[in-house]
Amino acid sequence: MATNERVVMDAQAIERALMRVTHEILERNKGTTNVALVGIRSRGVYIAQRLCNKIHAIEGVEVPTGIIDITLYRDDLSRSRQQPAIKGTDIDFGMDDKRIVLVDDVLFTGRTIRAALDALMDFGRPRDVQLFVLVDRGHRELPIRADYVGKNLPTAVNESVEVRLVESDGCDEVVIARAEER
């Protein structure tokens, strides 16, 4: 960890948040009927998988879990300095009438979620789409809000928030850093 980083959620905090959200999802949707999880690449996918496991542990049901790559739906493709790598979308269940829980690690401007919604719509017509983010750091540029939030984290625009997960980064933590000292 760099010296200007601050851990705002450790592994235990993340685990508790995920546990709480799992129960919230089950409560709100009154169980698992027609519920499906869709994780946004990359870390959203791992979080969605964890939620899927937790739901299974509680309800004994494996809800359908899909992966969405929003690269092709981004609104900033022509402004991006480098070529984004496309890893592909994988949704092997029907979208129609499902209650989709979209899962991402950090909610910031809201543009990623907007792109994800566009992508989802191309797959069909879900009954509704709910949003879970592990961290909501504010500074929305579009009218997007999360239904389930792991942690609300007020940040300055020039700070950066990074979610690290065992599956991709070797540990579970959420850190915030001031950008210029990276």
Partner 1 sequence: MSFSHRHLLGLENLSRDELTFLLDTAASFKEISERDIKKVPTLRGKTVVSLFYEASTRTRTSFEIAAKRMSADFISLSSSTSSATKGETLLDTARNLAAMRPDAIILRHSASGAPHFLAARIDCPIVNAGDGSHEHPTQALLDLLTIRERKGRLEGLTVAIVGDILHSRVARSNIFALRTLGATVRLIGPPTLLPPELKAWGETTSDLHEGVRDADVIMMLRLQLERQGKNFFPTVDEYSRYFCLTQRAVAGASPEVIILHPGPMNRGVEIASDVADGPDSVIMGQVTNGIAVRMAVLFLLVNRAKVHSSSEAEAPVAETRPPAARLRRRAG
Q: Which two tokens stand for residue 130?
A: 């709910």
Strands 99-107 and 65-68: unpaired
Write down how long the chain is.
Answer: 182
Q: Which spans of this chain sit near partner 1 (rule: CB under 8 A)?
A: 69, 72-73, 76-83, 85-90, 108-109, 111, 118-119, 122-124, 139, 141, 157-158, 160, 179-180, 182
Q: Which two tokens stand for residue 79?
A: 């402004």
The tally of CA atoms less than 13 A away on the side-chain side of residue 176 is 15
Q: Judged by CB, which is closer to partner 1: 10, or 122? A: 122
Q: Helix 11-28 and helix 43-59: axis angle, to 10°?
A: 60
Query: In this structure, are residues 74 and 115 in contact, taking their beta carbons and an 8 Å threshold?
Result: yes
- Least distance from partner 1 to the Cβ atom of residue 73, Å: 6
Alpha helices for the chain (secondary structure H): 11-28, 43-59, 111-121, 166-169
CA 47/CA 104 separation, integer angstroms: 7
Report yes or no: 36 and 68 within 8 Å, Cβ to Cβ: no
